[in-house]
Structure 1
Amino acid sequence: MKYKSVFDIIGPVMIGPSSSHTAGAARIGRVARSLFGRQPKWAAISFYGSFAKTYKGHGTDVALVGGLLDFDTSDERITRAIDIAKEAGMKIKFIEEEAITDHPNTVRVKIGDDEDEMELVGISIGGGKIEIIELNGFELKLSGHHPAILVVHNDRHGAIAAVSNVLAHEEINIGHMEVSRKEKGKMALMTIEVDQNIDANVIKKLEELPNVLQVTKIVE
């Protein structure tokens, strides 16, 4: 495995005690916040495996809520995140699951408000690194460490090519891309990690494409 920097080995600058249980959890929460687009009014957080057994002692609960509040891993407010969230009116529920998952550090995050709700599954793979492996029932692989766009679209011929052509025309390089669908011919999800941030003009062009239903940007 290749490392880009020493921080890939020793972990990120963070509020402790654990890069996988604390920093990773904060990043999962922050990606959820970014995907939802605003601070949720409620959160139901289900911990699995090692997370379920140690989340209180390792601060996984406060870190994840800190992420939902858009706190970075080094933000000292993380230690008070649950209290801050409750003061802001956010209702929080923690669930210790007994089901066995493929990865020991797995969490399912359900968040919402009066208008919408969202559900994702994330894993903390060590050193503060994460992967989002499910979003609203779609399977995906999203690291949260690179700028990315998620494109919900009708599963039709040419939809993927049209999105790729827009990015190529704007000279945006794709680092990783996956497509997931629940059923042939229905809705599908493109997960595209890119090498640079995408501006609002590009997002607008993507949203105007035939068969594209929704475009969500995640900033690194």
Structure 2
Amino acid sequence: MNIYDIIGPIMVGPSSSHTAGAVRLGNLALAILGEPVKYAVIELHGSFAQTYRGHGTDLALVAGLLGWPPDDLRIPQSFEYAEKDGLEYSFVKVNLGDLAHPNTVRFKLKGKNGAESQITGSSVGGGSVLITDIDGFSLEFTGELTVLLTMHHDKPGVVALVTSILSNQGVNVAAMRLSRHNKGGLAVMVLETDQSISNELVGAIKALPQIKAVRRIQLS
């Protein structure tokens, strides 16, 4: 435990879970989509669904999708800024099942350049979050480290190719998770790294014939 765990994040809002965590979830969803959001259906589960207006969770989620940090003083006016930015959104209460964390949100996003993605994540306390699903692929990452997210064809050697490119540039992999629906189909790989990942490295990985898409997520 460190001092951040004790005093919580620097933020705007009454609750680290319902505001700071919600902003961070929006930040990660925006990074995963990879382009500015045009339209968002924001599905709220559990405590998020019950208290999202009173705790400012709705304002915080939209602020996160705008790319603002948890301590941005504009958060209470995020709806107004979203309208100016052309970001359309709607909130829907859903039940994601008994196994879902009480503070869970599922984003259904469409970007200004046509990209689409569905992202599920939870605010787990103290401003910390956990992404658990992207486009139907089960996975886990917090966004506290640099994340390289790839969608690739499930073939032998893809993981080794990607990790060797990182290793050759001195990037250490701290954690790795893989998810696939079917053998030989599409798969998602999450690599959390101790070092930042340059544009050149992202480009080299994107150029691999087996890679369909790649995202670098660096929030701090």
Q: Which TM-score band (shorter chain)?
A: over 0.9
Give structure 2 stretches of 5+ with no counterpart: none
> Counterpart of 1:49?
46
In the alignment, the residues of structure 1 paired with residue 105 and residue 65 of structure 2 have an alpha-carbon distance, to the nearest angstrom, of 13
Q: How big is each residue's C-alpha offset from its partner over 1:132-154, in whole Å with a ceiling of 9 and x where there is no partner?
A: 00001111111011111101110
Amino acid of the structure 2 residue aligned with 1:209: L
- The code of the aligned residue for 1:23 comes to A
> 105, 113, 116: which is aligned to 2:111?
113
Which residue does 2:72 correspond to in 1?
75
Query: 1:84 maps to which residue?
Result: 81
Moved over 3 A (4+): none
Paired position in structure 1 for 2:28: 31
1:166-192 per-position Cα deviation (integer Å, ceiling 9, x unaligned): 111111011111000011110001100
1:203 and 1:100 map into 2 onto residues whose CA distance is 36
Provide the aligned length of Structure 1 versus Structure 2.
217
Q: Contact (CA 8 Å) 1:159, 1:210: kept in 2 or not?
A: no
Q: What is the CA distance between 1:117 and its match in structure 2?
A: 1.3
After TM superposition, give the deviation of residue 101 of structure 1 in Å: 4.1
**TM-score, structure 2 as length reference:** 0.95
User: Which residue identity is paired with 1:160?
Assistant: V
Task: Please tell me whether the aligned partners of residues 41 and 108 of structure 2 are also in contact (alpha carbons under 8 angstroms).
Answer: yes
The whole-number CA distance in structure 2 between the counterparts of 1:101 and 1:163 is 36
Q: CA deviation at 1:35?
A: 1.5
Which residue identity lines up with residue 170 of structure 2 in the other structure? E
CA displacement at 1:44 relative to structure 2: 0.4
Q: Identity rate of aligned residues, in percent?
A: 40
Residue correspondence of structure 1 range 105-184 to structure 2 within 5 A: 105-113=103-111, 115-184=114-183
Alpha carbons 1:49, 1:100 under 8 Å: kept? no
- Encode CA deviations 1:46-101: one digit per residue, 9 max, x unaligned: 00011100111111100000000001000011111112102222211000113434
Query: Which whole-Å CA distance do the structure 1 matches of 2:98 and 2:22 have between them?
Result: 16
After TM superposition, give the deviation of residue 37 of structure 1 in Å: 2.0
Superposition CA RMSD, Å: 1.2
